Chains A and B, each alone.
Chain A
């Protein structure tokens, strides 16, 4: 068993172990062990990756493996990782682990909850290790469907509506994506011979310009929907608001990153001509998402909706960074993916923790919580500061890189986009500080006088996330080094 396939196998083993477990305590311990193993595996993966690179392996992908799956169609189970994927795998495994701690007290069907979560994680891990479009597509869909059950069964509020909307929009998006993938496949053998789904085989030949221009928007929109590309973002606020805490964390933190990753790896890498043809169009959509998401967040009254719209805004920044097509902006976009993953997961975790105590998420119903639950309050302030891009936290590094990269374009169009993107920082500050001021600072409310303090498992989850936010914020060059190597092939192509 190779080091990458284990990421798909360990979850399956965990599911089987869960089936034999009895009682809530056993379920969560089994699930926790599974996720701890995955987290250790992802650390080990980074270590091995650095070793491999240090020993002079300069292939685009390392730890590659290729097994023929459906021979007549030349479909392979092909895997491999580069610097971008290993960081995404790290993000996934950390958020899963903290998600377990946050859902420590799931009472309704705990076994099914953990199994759905693990199935979802299988899809996400599989997606990040695939270098074959078919394998990637399979894992992508595996990651989407458990979401329906997770939101529908364990969610709050209009959960059935939100779950259905989310599932249908994401599956509809995967339908669009499928057209793009089939288009790439059936143009992958211009000189006869078998077609291929392998990303790097397709990258070797230069697809005709017409094909690239035709299929680029399919792939881009297909992946764009899951990373909340305007105007296809509408599933995201409802979905996030209705989902249980761990699922919101996972969804905003990891699942939405599938979109940016797919756009970068498939749409842009395989279709450079298509990218140059369409980039301004999608840049406009992305920047609308950035500003619109931030403005919408100001108007919200529910904590989760604020964070959901904030995610729309921040993932818009990822797309802006990707579409700026230069090394610094790309680095910024990828770090923004990571950073937003950790920050938003921490935010959703804290909202879940607060909601578990106050039983409301409405800003108007809460005030002066800092007096009664100081630790949670301070963590919330820290998450907020990280979110609005305070230096020392990860958000600053990411956004700084994106803006610097964007500013390298000297034409008016890109300048306007950059200025608009930068203005979102100010709007972010408005909605973050407003919430902090209202619910944490204001006059203390008597009904919240004896809220219980933070428990050990909540503490574990939030501190792990905070550690990573600070780590990226203070040691950005370390992440940058891992990425520099992996971004080079993209620069050569675009």
Chain B
């Protein structure tokens, strides 16, 4: 193994180094100056994110277990930006609430471990690496969910997360073993063309699909989502709803489009049915929520249904639409969660009714909230519209007009509940509105970046062209 091959694992190696540096600096820094660790972690991760944009060669390692290509490279960069924004938003929560318990360094170590797991998931060329990545990505998050030890809901969230993660891993493993029994290999590439529709292979497909569906929180595997998002600290919910979900979406796409391509006629029903179910259930449950974190949880369930709709097109258009939508979804959701977090930190309020009259006291925050929610709903000229539109195009290109119609009906339903939040913030007046406050600079930078991204990404088409150009991973 020479230097060039090592370079293929550049992201993983540099993230491991960052983890070690934080571990060591936690030993050196005195307890009363722990805040500096946040700066170190954010600074290092910023460098890591920027370095991620240095182009790198395509190739495989360990005999094809680990691979990288322009799409994986680009997707990791998108994830990095998302993680970076979440780090910025988490800072004031850590510094305000966790400083007393000297639990700052652990947060970064555990979070970065999970990111590392997602890197391996995304880069996997072999089911074992994929499984290891999956476990590495979800187990640390369970620890993070229980981070607020004084909060009982936080512990509850952690238990729920780890139990469902364990069950889904079991199911996933069972699916893998069935596929191994059929194909005689765990390499994605070796399995191509070997798995043909039969009772056994359908079982394998369903189990693998279900295992990943837990991570993406597709209906009927979404039941943990709302409780965990509500109980976990907001940055952790945020991470779960975007980064962890994005990793699973990516690998599900690769498995369905390439490895299980021969099963297309079977899994198309699965994808179609689950997409419809997920959109309806997510939206109808979101209608009834009062707590914003639960609300965003169900909204993210519904969004997963839209992503699945894009998977009906197993071609370059489908891949582009999904990756493009994921990138925009990351920004939109981080924006919405960021505002919720900023307000919850200062006032402890998380209910939609508490937001009445928000615009008159905190106009900028309300505007970011509106932009993010409109982006989630898909209102032009904000980026989310373009993401959704291209997903419709992907499904329509395969002739699934009924699916597209169901999706646009769901967009209208979802618009209703997004407008409920906007109604509270903009239309209503309140006797006791949330008083004006200033968030810390990290949060403001993060929300500023989100705002710029939401306004620019959609209208600026070269971003789409770039994703299209790297999405040609189906080689045959």
Q: Which residues of A contact B (CB under 8 A)?
A: 69-73, 134, 138-139, 141-142, 145, 148-149, 152-153, 159-160, 163-164, 167-168, 171-172, 175-176, 178-179, 182-183, 185-186
Instruction: Pick from A73, A152, A175: contact of B423, CB below 8 A.
Output: A152
Q: Check B419 against A148 for contact (C-beta < 8 Å).
A: yes
A-B contact pairs, 19 of them (CB 8 A): A72-B320, A72-B465, A73-B317, A73-B393, A138-B381, A145-B379, A149-B427, A153-B426, A153-B427, A163-B427, A167-B419, A168-B416, A175-B408, A179-B401, A182-B393, A182-B396, A182-B401, A186-B397, A186-B399
Other than the given A138-B381, A178-B408, 5 more pairs (CB < 8 A) read A152-B426, A178-B389, A179-B401, A183-B396, A185-B396
Name the A residues within 8 Å of B415 (CB-CB): 167-168, 171
Name the A residues within 8 Å of B320 (CB-CB): 72
Interface 0/1 of B369-401, CB less than 8 Å to A = 000001000011100010001101100110101
Name the A residues within 8 Å of B409 (CB-CB): 172, 175
Interface 0/1 of B400-441, CB less than 8 Å to A = 010011001101100110010011001100000000000000
Within the assembled complex, what's the spacing in Å between the Cα atoms of A179 and B419?
23
Q: Determine how close the nearest CB of chain B comes to the CB of A383; give it in whole angstroms.
A: 31
Name the CB-closest residue of B to A155. Answer: B427
Q: Check A138 against B380 for contact (C-beta < 8 Å).
A: yes
Name the B residues within 8 Å of A164 (CB-CB): 416, 419, 423
Task: Give the size of the chain B interface in residues (CB under 8 angstroms).
Answer: 32
Name the CB-closest residue of A to B397. Answer: A186
Name the CB-closest residue of B to A141. Answer: B380
Q: Check A141 against B379 for contact (C-beta < 8 Å).
A: yes
Q: Determine how close the nearest CB of chain A comes to the CB of B87; give it in whole angstroms.
A: 30
Within residues 340 to 395 of chain B, which ones have a CB less than 8 A from any CB in chain A? 374, 379-381, 385, 389-390, 392-393
Q: Check A172 against B404 for contact (C-beta < 8 Å).
A: no
**CB-CB under 8 A for A178 and B427, given A71-B461, A142-B380, A172-B409:** no
Name the A residues within 8 Å of B416 (CB-CB): 164, 168
Q: Check A141 against B411 for contact (C-beta < 8 Å).
A: no
Q: Which residues of B contact A (CB under 8 A)?
A: 317, 320, 374, 379-381, 385, 389-390, 392-393, 396-397, 399, 401, 404-405, 408-409, 411-412, 415-416, 419, 422-423, 426-427, 461, 464-465, 468
Name the CB-closest residue of B to A177. Answer: B408
Name the A residues within 8 Å of B389 (CB-CB): 134, 178
Within the assembled complex, what's the spacing in Å between the Cα atoms of A134 and B412?
19
Q: Check B461 against A69 for contact (C-beta < 8 Å).
A: yes
Number of A-B contacts (CB under 8 A): 80
Within the assembled complex, what's the spacing in Å between the Cα atoms of A142 and B422?
17
Name the B residues within 8 Å of A134 (CB-CB): 389
Q: Check A70 against B426 for contact (C-beta < 8 Å).
A: no
Name the A residues within 8 Å of B396 (CB-CB): 182-183, 185-186
**CB-CB under 8 A for A178 and B412, given A160-B423, A164-B423, A183-B401:** no
Interface of B is mostly: helix
Name the CB-closest residue of A to B374. Answer: A145
Within the assembled complex, what's the spacing in Å between the Cα atoms of A107 and B230?
40
Name the A residues within 8 Å of B461 (CB-CB): 69-71
Within the assembled complex, what's the spacing in Å between the Cα atoms of A145 and B419?
10
Name the B residues within 8 Å of A160 (CB-CB): 423, 427
Q: Check A175 against B412 for contact (C-beta < 8 Å).
A: yes
Name the B residues within 8 Å of A142 (CB-CB): 380-381
Name the A residues within 8 Å of B381 (CB-CB): 138, 142
Instruction: Pick from A141, A148, A167: contact of B385, CB below 8 A.
Output: A141
Name the A residues within 8 Å of B464 (CB-CB): 70, 72
Within the assembled complex, what's the spacing in Å between the Cα atoms of A185 and B392?
12
Name the A residues within 8 Å of B465 (CB-CB): 70-72
Name the A residues within 8 Å of B422 (CB-CB): 148
Name the CB-closest residue of B to A145. Answer: B379
**CB-CB under 8 A for A171 and B412, given A70-B465, A145-B379:** yes
Name the CB-closest residue of B to A163. Answer: B427
Q: Determine how close the nearest CB of chain B comes to the CB of A231; give it in whole angstroms.
A: 17
Instruction: Pick from A138, A175, A185: contact of B411, CB below 8 A.
Output: A175
Within the assembled complex, what's the spacing in Å between the Cα atoms of A386 and B422?
40
Within the assembled complex, what's the spacing in Å between the Cα atoms of A159 and B389?
30
Within the assembled complex, what's the spacing in Å between the Cα atoms of A186 and B426?
40
Name the A residues within 8 Å of B317 (CB-CB): 72-73
Specify which of A73, A142, A164 lies most central, judged by the most chain B CB atoms within 10 Å of its CB.
Answer: A73
Report, nearest first, the 8 A-B pairs whose CB atoms are least far apart: A175-B408, A152-B427, A182-B396, A72-B468, A172-B412, A138-B380, A70-B461, A141-B380
Q: Determine how close the nearest CB of chain B comes to the CB of A325; give it in whole angstroms.
A: 28
Name the B residues within 8 Å of A175 (CB-CB): 405, 408-409, 411-412
Name the A residues within 8 Å of B392 (CB-CB): 178, 182
Within the assembled complex, what's the spacing in Å between the Cα atoms of A160 and B408?
23
Within the assembled complex, what's the spacing in Å between the Cα atoms of A172 and B406?
11
Q: Determine how close the nearest CB of chain B comes to the CB of A108; give it in whole angstroms.
A: 10
Q: Determine how close the nearest CB of chain B comes to the CB of A445; give it in whole angstroms.
A: 33
Within the assembled complex, what's the spacing in Å between the Cα atoms of A70 and B412?
25
Within the assembled complex, what's the spacing in Å between the Cα atoms of A331 and B459?
37
Name the B residues within 8 Å of A153 (CB-CB): 426-427
Within the assembled complex, what's the spacing in Å between the Cα atoms of A152 and B426?
8
Within the assembled complex, what's the spacing in Å between the Cα atoms of A73 and B389?
12
Within the assembled complex, what's the spacing in Å between the Cα atoms of A72 and B409?
27
Q: Check A182 against B404 for contact (C-beta < 8 Å).
A: yes
Within the assembled complex, what's the spacing in Å between the Cα atoms of A142 and B380?
6
Instruction: Pick from A70, A149, A179: contact of B408, CB below 8 A.
Output: A179
Within the assembled complex, what's the spacing in Å between the Cα atoms of A146 and B427?
13
Q: Determine how close the nearest CB of chain B comes to the CB of A60; give it in whole angstroms.
A: 26
Q: Determine how close the nearest CB of chain A comes to the CB of B98; give it in whole angstroms.
A: 38
Name the A residues within 8 Å of B401 (CB-CB): 179, 182-183
Instruction: Pick from B380, B397, B405, B426: contact of A149, CB below 8 A.
Output: B426
Name the B residues within 8 Å of A171 (CB-CB): 411-412, 415
Within the assembled complex, what's the spacing in Å between the Cα atoms of A153 and B415?
18
**CB-CB under 8 A for A73 and B390, given A141-B380, A171-B412, A179-B401:** yes
Within the assembled complex, what's the spacing in Å between the Cα atoms of A69 and B404?
23
Within the assembled complex, what's the spacing in Å between the Cα atoms of A183 and B393?
10
Q: Determine how close the nearest CB of chain B comes to the CB of A162; give it in whole angstroms.
A: 11
Within the assembled complex, what's the spacing in Å between the Cα atoms of A183 and B395?
11
